[in-house]
Amino acid sequence: MAYISDSFPACPEALWALWACRKLLTLRIPPMFPCDHPGRFNDKSLETIANCWPNMRHLSVGGPSLSSAGLIHIAKGCLRLQELELDRTVAMSEEIAHAMCLCGLRGLETISFTFTPVSPGAIKELLGACPRLERIEVHIGISDYFMNVDDDVSKRKYSHIVKKLAALKQENQEFARVLWIKADYG
């Protein structure tokens, strides 16, 4: 199921109304730009998803109002999650990845970071803690990290970030096998 609306984002009340679909295994709630109410899909929305659909297998969420607290709700509540896409959301640090892995994600097979900054440490943490992980997709752009995308300093820093992520593929065969990186400018 996909919930896509720029006028009525998937707030906790809207998600609660969908709870009648108790056997829901797939849910896509991509961030909308522009959106009339960008803050309505938030950590409480993720908590509602975790509480309503503990058997969720495939989840795609994102937006500027999500934080590590909401992601931890998903890791704790959706213990059968196999695929997780984080789209334009909070930067994934090693600390956030560690906290999520402590709570769950044991069955995770694919994780995608779509225009979501992710650190090399977070990728290492996920690969080390998720025994079934077969694919880590990273699709980033310079605007995910810097406001001024035309600045030479920002371009150099972004290039360094991409090189650090790409260097993971050289570390060992496991990273080379599961890590997919697409880096855009813009």
Residues 6+ apart with CB under 8 A from 129: 97, 98, 101, 105
Confidence of residue 138 (pLDDT cuts 50, 70, 90): very high
How many Cβ atoms from other residues are within 10 Å of residue 106's Cβ? 15
**SS3 category, 27:** strand
Report the domain count for the chain.
Answer: 1
6 lies in some domain: no
- Report pLDDT for 17: 77
User: Identity (one letter) of the amino acid at 73?
Assistant: H
What does the block give as tokens for 25?
């295994």
In a domain, 7, yes or no: no
The answer to whether position 69 is within a domain reads yes
Residue 75: pLDDT over 90 = yes
User: What mean pLDDT comes out for the span 151-158?
Assistant: 94
Average of per-residue pLDDT across 36-48: 83
pLDDT band at residue 45 using 50, 70 and 90 as cut-offs: very high
Spatial distance between the Cα atoms of 171 and 169, rounded to a whole number of angstroms = 6
pLDDT 10s digits, 89-131 = 999 999 999 999 999 999 999 999 999 999 999 999 999 999 9
Is 77 within the bounds of a domain?
yes
R_g (Cα) of the chain, nearest Å: 16
How many CB atoms are located within 10 Å of the residue 160 CB? 10
Whether residue 50 is predicted with pLDDT greater than 80 in this model: the reply is: yes
The CATH number that applies at residue 36 is 3.80.10.10
Question: Residue 48's closest CA among 96, 11, 21?
Answer: 11
Q: What is the largest CA-CA distance in the chain?
A: 52
Does some domain include residue 2? no
Domain span at residue 76 reads 12-184
Q: What confidence category does residue 64 fall into, taking pLDDT thresholds of 50, 70 and 90?
A: confident
Predicted pLDDT of residue 7: 62
- Domain assignment of residue 4, yes or no: no
Confidence at residue 48, expressed as pLDDT on a 0 to 100 scale: 94
Q: Is 143 a member of any domain?
A: yes
Res 34: pLDDT = 57
Give a yes or no: residue 100 inside a domain: yes
Q: Phi-psi category of 37—alpha, beta or left, where left has phi over 0 and alpha has psi -120 to 50?
A: beta
Residue 19 has pLDDT above 80, yes or no: no
